[in-house]
């Protein structure tokens, strides 16, 4: 059949392949038959060339294997190679070869793989896009979940040895129905239903001994509300504390974290330990007036919110030391509004983060009704001076009077203890002391820890 090799090659190319070659036993192409016009240009100068010269450098070894296998076995398995093209784009081709008789020529039949390669490439790209979309969605869900946690979780800081509450945030006071002063010093287990107290005690003990975070489901005392309770250990001032987060399970089921984070009016942001922004919600981005969350990522929070800088180091250090701090009223300069800042420590992987919520303080109408006599008298005296002095001076004097009043009440409630007074006011101790100095005040020390009688100029 050797004399019929060109006709056989043409028949193969026409019936079952895109290209067929008649090749001598030493690998030189003697005849080329193609049925695809797209291959005509690429194969126009192949006759007389060695078969391996028609493929890319990476495919030459495969051509040599085809020649050797055809000469020894008479028939080869299919191998995929890349053809050289005058247009510069390599053409994927699948070749198999057969020998026509002992010492006769070879016929190599090839199938153009460009369509299949295009489908494979499209499949790979689609798969990559799906994976990217999946991970982007997972990252977004994780980000929303963390911001939701910062904005809504009740947080208790518990002494790991005594199991007593050291501090709590506003969400915790609402959840347990107790004011902060009642929560502080309380056995943490008492906030939960008696049926849940053994599991809660085991959670704290396990977290304290293993040093690993854990989570349970429990019920709040006096309520049927089911909550998710997690405990994370951390050290502060050489003391072991437990960060206990309480999250209503029903709220998580009913409320989509992404929707909450997108729609809440409270600005929520998570920073690293130096104040660099890691993530934030749209409300925070609007507050900064400096672009969206993507543009803010990596910037320093005190640079985008001027007026926060004097308080930021104390907020971060207090959150790291005590677990949480605030609410702290801060007058921002740009935008010119007053906000209430709460900072909470977070453990996000290997990096210690700080979660902050900033709630805009709404101005309210001041009335002397219900105010104690001393404060009402001072405000009345200021009102009597209306028209005699400028409004700005009156406002400044009224602010100082109200500040003095609240400082006095806070120290009375704290029995003269500066740290407790700072917690009542939602201020770091250093900020409280600075305000006392600025107002020219000092707390009158009561004997034996009794409540101070007042303030001395």
> Where does 300-439 show beta strands of DSSP type E?
324-331, 338-348, 351-360
* Residue 220 near residue 193 (C-beta atoms within 8 A): yes
User: No. of H helices and E strands in the chain?
Assistant: 17, 17
* Residue 425 near residue 410 (C-beta atoms within 8 A): yes
Mean pLDDT of 192-210: 94
User: Mind listing the pLDDT tens digit for each residue in 340-384?
Assistant: 899 999 865 556 789 999 988 765 433 444 456 567 767 767 776
* Residue 265 near residue 290 (C-beta atoms within 8 A): no
Report how far apart, in Å, the C-alpha atoms of 56 and of each of 79, 80, 157 are: 14, 12, 68
Q: How confident is the model at residue 444 (pLDDT cuts 50, 70, 90)?
A: very low
- Dihedral angle, C-alpha 430, 330, 285, 153, nearest 10 °: 70
> When comparing pLDDT for 104 and 72, which is higher?
72
What's the maximum distance between 2 C-alpha atoms anywhere in the chain? 124
Q: Is the pLDDT of residue 192 over 60?
A: yes
Q: Is the pLDDT of residue 214 over 60?
A: yes
Predicted local confidence at residue 452, as pLDDT = 40
- 3-state DSSP call for residue 178? coil
Least confident of 139-143, 153-157, 280-284: 139-143
Predicted local confidence at residue 185, as pLDDT = 92
Mean pLDDT of 197-215: 93
CA distance 16 to 12: 5
> When comparing pLDDT for 310 and 383, which is higher?
310
Predicted local confidence at residue 370, as pLDDT = 44
Mean pLDDT of 155-163: 93
User: Mind listing the pLDDT tens digit for each residue in 399-434?
Assistant: 888 888 888 888 877 777 888 888 878 788 888 888
CA distance 156 to 183: 9
> When comparing pLDDT for 290 and 258, which is higher?
258
Average pLDDT score, the chain: 81
CA distance 91 to 314: 66
- DSSP class of residue 399 equals H
CA distance 182 to 435: 26
Predicted local confidence at residue 163, as pLDDT = 94
Predicted local confidence at residue 14, as pLDDT = 54
- 3-state DSSP call for residue 40? helix
Q: Is 10 left (phi over 0), alpha (psi -120 to 50) or beta?
A: alpha
Helix ranges (DSSP H) in 153-191? 170-176, 180-183
> When comparing pLDDT for 311 and 349, which is higher?
311
- 3-state DSSP call for residue 96? strand
Q: What is the DSSP string of 401-431?
A: HHHHHHHHHHHHHTTT-HHHHHHHHT--HHH
CA distance 104 to 8: 13
Q: Is the pLDDT of residue 394 over 90?
A: no
User: Mind listing the pLDDT tens digit for each residue in 225-283?
Assistant: 789 999 999 887 778 999 999 987 755 455 678 888 888 889 999 999 899 999 999 99
- pLDDT above 90: percentage of residues in the chain: 27
CA distance 420 to 416: 8
Predicted local confidence at residue 188, as pLDDT = 95
- 3-state DSSP call for residue 239? strand
CA distance 221 to 197: 9
Predicted local confidence at residue 39, as pLDDT = 80
Give the range with max mean pLDDT: 15-24, 238-247, 391-400, 428-437: 238-247
* Residue 293 near residue 300 (C-beta atoms within 8 A): no
- pLDDT above 70: percentage of residues in the chain: 85
């Amino acid at each position: 059949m050797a004399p019929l090799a060109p006709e056989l090659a043409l028949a193969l190319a026409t019936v079952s392949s895109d290209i067929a070659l008649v090749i001598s036993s030493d690998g030189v192409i003697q005849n080329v038959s193609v049925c695809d016009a797209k291959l005509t240009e690429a194969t126009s100068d192949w006759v007389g060339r060695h078969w391996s010269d028609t493929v890319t450098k990476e495919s030459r070894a495969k051509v040599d294997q085809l020649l050797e296998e055809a000469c020894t076995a008479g028939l080869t398995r299919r191998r995929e190679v890349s053809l050289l093209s005058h247009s510069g784009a390599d053409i994927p081709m699948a070749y198999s070869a057969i020998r026509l008789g002992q010492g006769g020529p070879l016929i190599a039949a090839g199938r153009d793989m460009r369509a299949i390669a295009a489908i494979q490439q499209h499949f790979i790209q689609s798969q990559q896009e799906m994976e990217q979309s999946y991970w982007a969605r997972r990252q977004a869900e994780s980000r929303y979940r963390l911001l939701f946690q910062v904005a809504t979780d009740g947080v208790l800081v518990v002494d790991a040895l005594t199991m007593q509450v050291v501090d709590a945030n506003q969400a915790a006071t609402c959840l347990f129905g107790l004011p902060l002063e009642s929560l502080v010093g309380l056995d943490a287990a008492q906030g939960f239903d008696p049926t849940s107290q053994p599991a809660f005690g085991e959670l704290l003990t396990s977290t304290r001994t293993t040093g690993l975070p854990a989570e349970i489901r429990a019920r709040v005392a006096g309520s049927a509300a089911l909550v998710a309770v997690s405990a994370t250990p951390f050290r502060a001032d050489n003391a072991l504390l437990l960060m206990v987060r309480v999250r209503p399970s029903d709220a998580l089921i009913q409320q989509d974290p992404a929707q909450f984070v997108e729609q809440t009016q409270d600005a929520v942001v998570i920073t690293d330990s130096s104040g660099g922004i890691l993530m934030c919600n749209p409300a925070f981005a609007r507050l900064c007036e400096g672009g969206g969350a993507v543009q803010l990522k990596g910037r320093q929070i005190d640079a985008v919110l001027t007026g926060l800088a004097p308080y930021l180091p104390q907020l971060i250090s207090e959150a790291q030391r005590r677990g949480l701090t605030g609410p702290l009223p801060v007058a921002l300069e740009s935008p010119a509004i007053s906000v209430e800042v709460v900072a909470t420590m977070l453990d996000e992987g290997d990096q210690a983060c700080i979660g902050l919520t900033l709630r805009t303080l709404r101005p309210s109408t001041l009335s002397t009704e219900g105010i104690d006599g001393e404060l009402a008298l001072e405000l009345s005296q200021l009102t009597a001076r209306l028209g005699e002095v400028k409004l700005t001076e009156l406002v400044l004097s009224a602010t100082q009077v109200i500040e003095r009043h609240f400082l006095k009440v806070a120290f009375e409630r704290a029995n003269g203890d500066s740290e407790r007074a700072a917690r009542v006011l939602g201020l770091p101790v250093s900020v409280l002391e600075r305000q006392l100095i600025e107002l020219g005040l000092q707390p009158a020390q009561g004997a034996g820890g009794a409540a101070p009688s007042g303030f001395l100029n």
